């Protein structure tokens, strides 16, 4: 099936879930924007000159993105085991592959920017709040809490990543823009899964909302502050901050979690 022609509303709910949570759907989705792009970059794209200040700020941003991607990679891997049905396990496995690829392309870009040892640079530049978020996410998952894990990872982290990566792409150098374009398309799918999965489970049992609101109060500030700093570092326009907060709030509002 050609993805652009895909009409989810034409399918019954279970058929819809079978379709969109499959590796087949994943492959149909990614081949359009990942084929012929080594490390996410079109071979025809030429690297731009960049002054030291801009390069430094970009490296810091990509190091923090790498922390977020590692959190999602380890988180999604843990969620495969917790997923309540086979469709969700398959989807989470596609997400594991996506997050590993995101981490790989960001590490590759960090090296292209002149960093010999990205691991050491990430340890030096990672914002402590994001490292704390990663620890909390993995703790929720190790407790066996699927709903909280999906909320923290696929709603809080991914919704904010989706907005920040798009704002960053608008001001980025040409190669980083290429790399971000493929990542953005994946994050959209991940955030969509999170909202869809939680929307269905909260409609059946709204009692989980109170607990998710508490998790939200703990985790929102950890992630929001880091991505606000990233927006400043990449030179996003001032209204970008309002867009970040606004798009995230729209999502939690649709889930009844404000
Ligand atoms: Fe990602
Ligand atoms: Fe993601």
Specify the CATH number for the domain of residue 53. Answer: 1.20.1260.10
| Ligand that lies nearest to the alpha carbon of residue 191, given by its number in the listed order | 2
Tell me, in angstroms, the distance from the centre of ligand 1 to residue 73's CA: 8
Cβ count within 10 A of residue 39: 17
Do 122 and 69 form a contact (C-beta atoms < 8 A)? no
Q: Which pLDDT tens digit goes with each residue over 76-135?
A: 999 999 999 999 999 999 999 999 999 999 999 999 999 999 999 999 999 999 999 999
Tell me, in angstroms, the distance from the centre of ligand 1 to residue 69's CA: 5
Closest to 156 in 3D by CA, of 182, 187, 184: 187
- 65 pLDDT more than 90: yes
Residue 247: both structure tokens together: 């798009």
State the average pLDDT over residues 43-53.
93
The answer to whether residue 2 is domain-embedded is: no
The answer to whether residue 120 is domain-embedded is: yes
Pick the residue with more confidence: 234 or 4?
Answer: 234
The answer to whether residue 57 is domain-embedded is: yes
| Ligand that lies nearest to the alpha carbon of residue 76, given by its number in the listed order | 2
The answer to whether residue 1 is domain-embedded is: no
Task: Give the distance between the most distant pair of CA atoms in the chain.
Answer: 54
Tell me, in angstroms, the distance from the centre of ligand 1 to residue 127's CA: 17
The answer to whether residue 242 is domain-embedded is: yes
The answer to whether residue 43 is domain-embedded is: no
Q: Which pLDDT tens digit goes with each residue over 2-47?
A: 444 555 555 567 777 878 888 888 988 888 888 888 999 999 999 9
Tell me, in angstroms, the distance from the centre of ligand 1 to residue 152's CA: 13
Tell me, in angstroms, the distance from the centre of ligand 1 to residue 70's CA: 8
Instruction: Please compute Rg for the chain using Cα positions.
Output: 18
Beta-carbon contacts of residue 57 (< 8 Å; ≥ 6 apart):
233, 234
Q: State the residue range of the domain holding 186.
A: 48-254
Question: What's the pLDDT score for residue 32?
Answer: 81
What string of DSSP letters covers 45-57?
PPPPP--HHHHHH
Number of separate domains in the chain? 1
| Ligand that lies nearest to the alpha carbon of residue 194, given by its number in the listed order | 2
The answer to whether residue 170 is domain-embedded is: yes
| Ligand that lies nearest to the alpha carbon of residue 193, given by its number in the listed order | 2
pLDDT level of residue 230 (50, 70, 90 thresholds): very high
């Amino acid at each position: 099936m050609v993805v652009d022609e895909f009409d989810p509303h034409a399918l019954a709910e279970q058929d819809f879930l079978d379709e969109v949570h499959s590796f087949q759907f994943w492959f149909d989705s990614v081949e359009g924007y990942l084929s012929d792009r080594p490390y996410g970059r079109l071979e025809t794209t030429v690297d731009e000159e960049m002054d030291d200040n801009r390069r430094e700020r970009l490296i810091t941003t990509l190091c923090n993105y790498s922390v977020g991607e590692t959190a999602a990679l380890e988180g999604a891997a843990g969620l495969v085991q917790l997923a309540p049905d086979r469709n969700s396990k398959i989807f989470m496995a596609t997400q594991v592959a996506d997050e590993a690829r995101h981490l790989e392309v960001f590490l590759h870009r960090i090296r292209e920017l002149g960093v010999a040892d990205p691991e050491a640079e990430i340890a030096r530049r990672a914002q402590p709040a994001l490292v704390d978020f990663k620890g909390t996410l993995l703790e929720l998952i190790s407790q066996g809490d699927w709903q909280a894990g999906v909320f923290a990872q696929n709603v809080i982290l991914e919704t904010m990543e989706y907005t920040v990566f798009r704002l960053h792409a608008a001001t980025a150098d040409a190669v980083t823009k290429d790399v971000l374009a493929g990542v953005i398309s994946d994050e959209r799918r991940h955030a969509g899964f999170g909202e869809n999965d939680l929307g269905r489970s909260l409609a059946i049992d709204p009692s989980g909302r109170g607990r998710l609101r508490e998790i939200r109060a703990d985790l929102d500030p950890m992630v929001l502050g880091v991505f606000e700093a990233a927006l400043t570092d990449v030179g996003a326009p001032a209204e970008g901050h309002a867009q970040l907060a606004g798009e995230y709030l729209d999502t939690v509002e649709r889930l009844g979690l404000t």
